[in-house]
């Protein structure tokens, strides 16, 4: 800074250079990447995540289920997974990302003439679920077109984050214990790459089975060019433990699921009221409330907690 | 230049750039527009029709009452159901956007007004191919009026649409079924495609579904309503038990592609184009409600007590209705009564 003290002209030139330097620094830090944005393509190996709460069948803590969602889960039977027609029902795309079988491959579809990205294609290991994220500004289809497990997705860049909006979803489960989202759901997913790490944050909006949007932030992958993607084919079952035409369910108030038994404790002795879920169980202040709640003391029988 | 001025300039630059970095943009033609949230995905506005391709020879017209299936080709047009009477003009216009060939057949899947209301006006615009000479009156087709489209339906529908002798028919005579059947299925080969009309008693005793085998599309009629609970007309022989049986029968003729979705496509009475999984979910819901009402009835609960217990409770926000021609209460009432309770 000595030069700044030697005369006004010198101070002026030095000041201008400092402004230029600061402006360049600010530009370098704040300008979003050009049209190419961030490269999301590649093979992504999932890092461990928690996809089912405490793992106790029937536990719903932390999920903002509506009353309808609670009732739906209360009548759900694990035998539902053995219904012949649904043996090949996958975890839908948005749940597959959160689940254990989530090795992921993303690749771009590029328009040959413009060399712009028309879409990102995605493949997740769980039952070979695939998605297309349209990047060309096309509108979502009319409401009366077919709904699918992956839905219809469009993407837009928000800085270096790819923001994906998904509509036209089939009804599917959001945990493997009877928690469902309806076919009215819309999912917004934010994809962000940080070096060799990829993170997805999804916000599920469902006016039927959720009381508030459900935000999932546990999904993270590491780039692994050598990752093997195993095939995961499925053939419709014709004979299962559940006779064809039978719909397994429990009558209201008669579910034997351990999570719905107030006396049984999960591995964390989560209070029964917390296990019932609901919007309030998402928020930090609920932890304080939980401390005042009675804790179940009878250990859940083997097999009822993963 | 003072440090204060430098900081101010940098602050202005930073504020401007941070602001711009929060603009949501894309690479495509919509670049620069703010995302619309929540996304608008809507069906046709009331009074408007929407024509959607389904697959192969098959389209669907949505918004005229019950969905209308249109199968078209060189042989002409075959419709499944005709919507309400008030929408017939618009339906005829919509048909022309799909094909200008003559209307040959109408298949009615049920007798409800939103399925058969357009029968007379629309059938009148069609023509059936004459059997031998125009004035030939013998044989199975001899009695057909060849100056209109032929209306196919299960025979019990004819009786109720025409009404008792001397009584008031439900629809004008021109729209009455003139090509009835009383066996499990009636088959046509039309537009290079097998068309199988399968009797599926459910909402009434006269319901049918229509299978387009080459296009791999099923028109399910009132058996599947993705906008509400199924209407059950117990006076017309409908029941919850036959409804569940027929939903299972519908599942039997839909073959999913990979991961239990896609494959055979299903056109419901109301709502979006569906597939095997949608039918399974609907079957599951109806079966669960049936089982609950049956269990309550076995306990000796009265209809009022069953309604108060809300056996449909977790499905009401999606499928229920407290107004209109078919409410949740009417549905529960019909389930209860068709289980033999009253």
pLDDT score of A52 = 63
Q: What percent of chain B has pLDDT over 70?
A: 83
User: pLDDT, tens digit, for every residue of B13-55?
Assistant: 444 333 333 323 333 333 344 455 666 677 888 899 999 999 9
Task: Determine whether the interchain pair A236/B318 forms a contact, defined as Cβ–Cβ distance below 8 Å.
Answer: no
Q: Check whether B214 has a pLDDT greater than 80.
A: yes
- List of chain A residues whose C-beta atoms are within 8 Å of the C-beta of residue B316: 68
Q: Do B313 and A18 touch (CB under 8 A)?
A: no
- All residues of chain A having their beta carbon less than 8 Å from the beta carbon of residue B1 are 11-12, 15-16, 18-19
Pairwise CB contact (< 8 Å): B281 & A171: yes
Higher local confidence (pLDDT), B312 or A2: B312
Residue A197 · residue A40 · CB < 8 Å: no
Query: Which distant-in-sequence residues (6+ apart) come within 8 Å of B92 by Cβ?
Result: B121, B122, B125
Tens of pLDDT, residue by residue over A43-102, are: 999 998 776 666 777 788 999 999 999 999 999 999 998 999 999 999 899 988 988 789
Type and span of the H or E element at A277: none
Give percent of chain A above pLDDT 90.
65
The nearest alpha carbon in chain A to B294 belongs to A251
The SS3 assignment for B86 reads helix
All structural domains of chain A with their residue ranges: 1-31, 42-223, 258-299
Distance in Å, alpha carbon of A98 to nearest chain B alpha carbon: 18
Confidence of residue B146 (pLDDT cuts 50, 70, 90): confident
- pLDDT-based confidence at B143, cuts 50/70/90? low
Q: What percent of chain A has pLDDT over 70?
A: 86
Residue of A nearest to B255 (CA): A236
Which residue from A90, A146, A163 is facing B24, i.e. has the nearest CB? A163
Helix, strand or coil for residue B126?
Answer: coil
For residue A57, how far is the Cα from the chain centroid?
A: 20
Choosing among A144, A151, A234, A247, which should be mutated to test the B contact, i.e. which has the most B CBs within 10 A? A144
Please give the pLDDT value at position A59. 84
Neighbours of B106 (CB within 10 A): 28
pLDDT at A16: 54
Pick from B154, B82, B151: which is nearest to B116 by CA? Answer: B82
Mean pLDDT confidence for A196-224 = 95
Tokens (6 digits) for A290: 């939980």
**Interface test with chain A among B309, B314, B317, B319, by most A beta carbons within 10 Å:** B314
Mean pLDDT value across chain B: 88
Q: Which residues pair with A166 in a beta bridge?
A: A153, A187
Subunit contact A247:B283, Cβ cutoff 8 A: yes
Tell me the pLDDT of chain A averaged across its residues. 86
Q: Which residue of A has its CA nearest to B261?
A: A148
Does residue A91 sit in helix, strand or coil?
Answer: coil
The model's confidence at residue A232, banded by pLDDT at 50, 70 and 90, is: confident
The pLDDT of A193-219, averaged and rounded, is: 95
Confidence of residue A229 (pLDDT cuts 50, 70, 90): very high
Tokens 């509400």: give the residue. Answer: B228
pLDDT in tens, B48-64: 999 999 999 999 999 99
Residue predicted with more confidence, B305 or B35: B305
Tens of pLDDT, residue by residue over B267-304, are 999 999 999 999 999 999 999 999 999 999 999 999 99
- In chain A, residues with a C-beta closer than 8 Å to the C-beta of B24 are 156-158, 163
Reported confidence tier of residue B128, pLDDT bands at 50, 70, 90: confident
Indicate the helix (H) or strand (E) that contains B180: strand B179-181
Predicted pLDDT at A281: 95
What tens digit of pLDDT does each residue of B65-110 get?
A: 999 999 999 999 999 999 999 999 999 999 999 999 999 999 999 9
Confidence band of B125 (pLDDT split at 50, 70, 90):
very high
Tokens of residue B242, six digits:
């036959």
Shortest CB distance from B314 goes to which of A72, A244, A245? A72
**Chain B contacts of A12, Cβ < 8 Å?**
1
CATH of domain B50-338: 3.60.15.10
Domain boundaries, chain B: 50-338
**Interface contact flag, B277 A86, Cβ < 8 Å:** yes
For residue B126, is pLDDT > 70? yes
Are residues B35 and A163, on separate chains, in Cβ contact within 8 Å? yes
* Chain B residue closest in CA terms to A18: B6
Burial call A158-179: b when 16+ CB within 10 Å, e when fewer? bbebbbbbbbbbbbbbbbbbbb
- pLDDT at A286 > cutoff 80: yes
| Set of chain A residues whose Cβ sits within 8 Å of the Cβ of B315 | 68
Report the DSSP pairing between strands A214-223 and A197-205: antiparallel
């Amino acid at each position: 800074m000595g030069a700044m003290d030697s005369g006004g002209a010198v101070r002026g030139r030095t000041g201008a250079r400092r402004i230029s330097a600061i402006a360049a620094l600010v530009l370098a830090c704040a300008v979003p990447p050009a049209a190419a944005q961030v490269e999301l393509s590649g093979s992504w190996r999932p890092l461990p995540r928690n996809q089912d709460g405490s793992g106790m069948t029937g536990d719903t803590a932390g999920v903002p289920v509506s009353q309808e969602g609670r009732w739906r889960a209360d009548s759900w039977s694990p035998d539902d997974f053995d219904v012949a027609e649904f043996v090949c029902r996958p975890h839908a795309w948005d749940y597959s990302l959160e689940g254990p079988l989530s090795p992921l491959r993303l690749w771009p579809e590029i328009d040959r003439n413009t060399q712009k990205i028309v879409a990102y294609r995605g493949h997740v290991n769980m039952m070979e679920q695939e998605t297309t994220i349209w990047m060309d500004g096309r509108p979502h289809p009319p409401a009366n077109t077919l709904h699918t497990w992956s839905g219809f997705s469009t993407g837009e860049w928000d800085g270096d984050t790819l923001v994906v909006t998904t509509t036209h979803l089939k009804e599917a489960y959001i945990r493997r214990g009877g928690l469902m989202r309806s076919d009215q759901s819309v999912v917004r997913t934010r994809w962000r790459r940080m070096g060799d790490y990829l993170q997805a944050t999804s916000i599920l909006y469902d006016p039927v089975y959720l009381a508030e949007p459900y935000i999932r932030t546990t999904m993270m992958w590491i780039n692994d060019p050598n990752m093997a993607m195993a095939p995961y084919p499925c053939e419709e079952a014709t004979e299962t433990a559940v006779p064809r035409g039978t719909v397994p369910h429990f009558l209201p108030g008669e579910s034997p699921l351990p999570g719905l038994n107030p006396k049984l404790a999960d591995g964390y002795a989560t209070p029964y009221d917390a296990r019932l879920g609901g919007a309030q169980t998402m928020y930090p202040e609920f932890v304080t409330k939980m401390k005042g709640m009675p804790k179940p003391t009878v250990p859940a029988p083997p097999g009822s907690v993963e | 230049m003072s440090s204060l001025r430098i900081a101010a300039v940098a602050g202005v630059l930073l504020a401007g750039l941070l602001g711009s970095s929060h603009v949501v943009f894309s690479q495509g033609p919509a670049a620069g527009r703010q995302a619309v949230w929540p996304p608008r995905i809507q069906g046709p506005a009331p009074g408007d029709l929407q024509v959607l391709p389904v697959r192969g020879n098959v389209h669907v017209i949505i918004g005229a009452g019950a969905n209308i299936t249109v199968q078209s080709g060189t042989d002409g047009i075959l419709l499944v159901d005709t919507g309400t009477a008030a929408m017939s003009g618009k339906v005829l216009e919509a048909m022309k956007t799909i094909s200008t060939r003559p209307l040959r057949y109408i298949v009615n899947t049920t007798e409800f007004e939103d399925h058969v209301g357009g029968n007379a006006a629309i059938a009148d615009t069609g023509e059936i191919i004459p059997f031998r000479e125009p004035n030939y009156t013998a044989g199975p087709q001899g009695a057909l009026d060849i100056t209109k489209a032929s209306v196919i339906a299960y025979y019990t529908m004819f009786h109720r649409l025409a009404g008792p002798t001397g009584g008031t028919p439900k629809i004008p005579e021109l729209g009455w079924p003139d090509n009835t059947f009383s066996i499990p299925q009636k088959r046509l080969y039309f537009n290079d495609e097998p068309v199988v009309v399968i009797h599926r008693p459910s909402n009434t005793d006269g319901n049918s579904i229509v299978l387009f085998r080459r296009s791999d599309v099923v028109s399910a009629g009132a058996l599947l309503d993705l906008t509400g609970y199924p209407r059950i007309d117990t006076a017309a022989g409908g029941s919850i038990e036959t409804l569940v049986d027929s939903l299972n029968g519908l599942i039997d003729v839909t073959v999913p592609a990979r991961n239990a979705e896609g494959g055979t496509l299903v056109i419901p009475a109301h709502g979006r184009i569906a597939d095997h999984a949608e039918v399974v979910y609907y079957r599951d819901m109806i079966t669960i409600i049936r089982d609950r009402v049956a269990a309550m009835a076995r306990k000796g609960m009265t209809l009022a007590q069953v309604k108060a217990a809300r056996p449909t409770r977790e499905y009401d926000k999606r499928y229920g209705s407290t107004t209109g021609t078919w409410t949740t209460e009417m549905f529960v009432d019909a389930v209860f009564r068709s289980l033999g309770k009253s």
